[in-house]
Amino acid sequence: MADVDKLDGAEEVLRAILQPQWDPALGRISPSLFEGADVSLSRLALCTEDEIFTMFFRDLDKPDRLVMGAGQLSVAAIEAVGANYQEKPTTLWVAPDPVSDIGHENPAHAVIPPKISRGLSRKLVAEMGQPFIEAQKYRAEG
Amino acid sequence: MSTLQNLCTMTAVATAFIAPVTQGHAATNQPRTLKIGQPHLQVYDFQLSAAAATFINGIVFDNPFATATVAIPAKATGLSLAASDALGAHGADRLASFAALEDGWAGDGRAMRFESLSALNAFFSEGPEFPSVPSVFLLKDGSLQVVGESASGGAVEIDFRSDGIYYYSESTDAEGLVEPTSAGYQRLASVIKGQEI
């Protein structure tokens, strides 16, 4: 029954990156990007990249701190990072978590429920495919 | 608004750490640009009153009632000269943007802790030598994080946390916590050199 709430490994997800977490000029992402529990992701199987960025801008942008972009990785890669983490092998999974709050609807929302340590977060950041997706691409089109 | 009032206002807003630079200039009450390649710093010469000396916490003057010169970041981030040198104008800009953020900048993200900034300033005052310009990030707990490379090439992470200074070195796969003391900063300098500590 528990498997019902886990996404298939083949799914691709996006992790939003905020301005304080990304230094594009020097090409670095904070290794803390995935730290904590219930880390938010968005599923590319349910919404397009364009639609997801529109929701990022709607829900995450603040006047002094904009969404800068997103990193992409597969659910299978997330699971593998946890399983292969030598310091402390960890079972990671991605659970669907659609948001239905009026004005903040996001059918593509998902989370990584287990708490992620700095070490694991560092590995997940390294696993994200590059180049990262720049938000400006969608702001310009919008 | 006088220079001193201006300075005090910025100091109060930022609760900032102001770095003393030199002494002995005539009091002009006009800011002038610091000519050591620091476009984000302005230098102020002014005569300190007893009240002002009491008000401006964090400045150490040999003679607090004489003319003094201080350099402050133009955006009142409280970044010290040494830290500004190490992070560059780009890093100073990023830090200024962090200082403007309030609680909730990322879900439960906390506003920048100025104690973290003080520790960052103290760290850079010890002269750690990154082989390339490091990046500065803001963590969700309000701590500042510096990420750069060690002399041996791997990434180095330094978090200026409330419970101490966390470090991680990719080249040695070492991590730990040091005290925000001169001895602690020296240990971090060794990490940046790629040495085991």
What pTM value is reported for the model? Answer: 0.77
Query: Cβ contact (<8 Å) for A25 and B90?
Result: yes
User: What tokens does B143 get?
Assistant: 């701590």
Q: Is B114 on the interface with A (CB under 8 A)?
A: no
Count of the separate structural domains present in chain B: 2
Domain boundary (B73, B94, B109) is at: B73
- If asked whether residues B16 and B58 sit together in one domain, one would say yes
N-to-C CA span, chain A: 41
| Complex-level ipTM beyond the 0.90 threshold | yes
Chain A residues touching residue B140 (CB < 8 angstroms): 32, 35-36
Low-confidence stretches of chain B (pLDDT beneath 70): 1-77
Q: What is the pLDDT of residue B20?
A: 35
Q: Rounded to 5 degrees, what are φ and ψ at B117? A: -65, -40
Compute the nearest-CA separation of A22 from chain B (Å). Answer: 7
- If asked whether residues B50 and B105 sit together in one domain, one would say no
Taking the C-alpha atoms of residue A35 and residue A13, their distance in angstroms, rounded to an integer, is 17
Closest CA to B123 of B38, B187, B194, B56: B187
What interhelical angle do B81-99 and B114-125 show, nearest 10? 160
List B residues 132-151 in contact with A (Cβ-Cβ < 8 A): 133-140, 145, 147
Chain A residues touching residue B139 (CB < 8 angstroms): 30, 32
User: Which CA distances in Å does B60 have to B6, B21, B31, B93, B185?
Assistant: 19, 10, 20, 26, 21
Taking the C-alpha atoms of residue B112 and residue B115, their distance in angstroms, rounded to an integer, is 9
- If asked whether residues B69 and B126 sit together in one domain, one would say no
- If asked whether residues B143 and B167 sit together in one domain, one would say yes
Chain B residues touching residue A23 (CB < 8 angstroms): 94, 135-137
Average pLDDT of span A7-19? 97
- If asked whether residues B168 and B97 sit together in one domain, one would say yes
Q: CB of A17 within 8 A of CB of A68?
A: yes
**E strands present in chain B:** 19-23, 32-33, 41-47, 67-73, 135-138, 144-149, 155-161, 164-169, 174-178
Query: Cβ contact (<8 Å) for A62 and B168?
Result: no
Average pLDDT of span A74-87? 97
- If asked whether residues B12 and B106 sit together in one domain, one would say no
In A, minimum Cα distance to B167 occurs at A118
- If asked whether residues B57 and B89 sit together in one domain, one would say no
Chain B residues touching residue A118 (CB < 8 angstroms): 157, 166, 168
Residue B197 in domain:
no
Taking the C-alpha atoms of residue B44 and residue B47, their distance in angstroms, rounded to an integer, is 10
- If asked whether residues B163 and B90 sit together in one domain, one would say yes
In which domain, by residue range, is B13 found? 3-73
Query: Cβ contact (<8 Å) for B147 and A31?
Result: yes
Return the minimum-mean-pLDDT range out of A1-15, A102-116, B176-190. A1-15
Q: CB of A120 within 8 A of CB of A90?
A: yes
- If asked whether residues B21 and B61 sit together in one domain, one would say yes
Q: What is the pLDDT of residue B70?
A: 53
List A residues 27-46 in contact with B (Cβ-Cβ < 8 A): 28, 30-32, 35-36
In A, minimum Cα distance to B97 occurs at A64
The average confidence (pLDDT) of chain B is: 73
Average pLDDT of span A21-38? 96
The pLDDT tens digits of the residues spanning B94-115 come to 999 999 899 999 988 999 998 9
Query: Cβ contact (<8 Å) for B139 and A30?
Result: yes
Q: What is the pLDDT of residue B60?
A: 43
Residue B12 in domain:
yes
- If asked whether residues B95 and B32 sit together in one domain, one would say no
User: What tokens does A70 get?
Assistant: 């997103």
Query: Cβ contact (<8 Å) for B97 and A65?
Result: yes
- If asked whether residues B93 and B166 sit together in one domain, one would say yes
Q: What is the pLDDT of residue B122?
A: 93
Query: Cβ contact (<8 Å) for B140 and A35?
Result: yes
Q: What is the pLDDT of residue B76?
A: 44
Chain B residues touching residue A19 (CB < 8 angstroms): 97
User: What tokens does A28 get?
Assistant: 């670095």
Q: What is the pLDDT of residue A22?
A: 97
User: Which CA distances in Å does B69 have to B23, B30, B61?
Assistant: 5, 11, 10
Residue B52 in domain:
yes
Average pLDDT of span A5-27? 96
- If asked whether residues B182 and B86 sit together in one domain, one would say yes
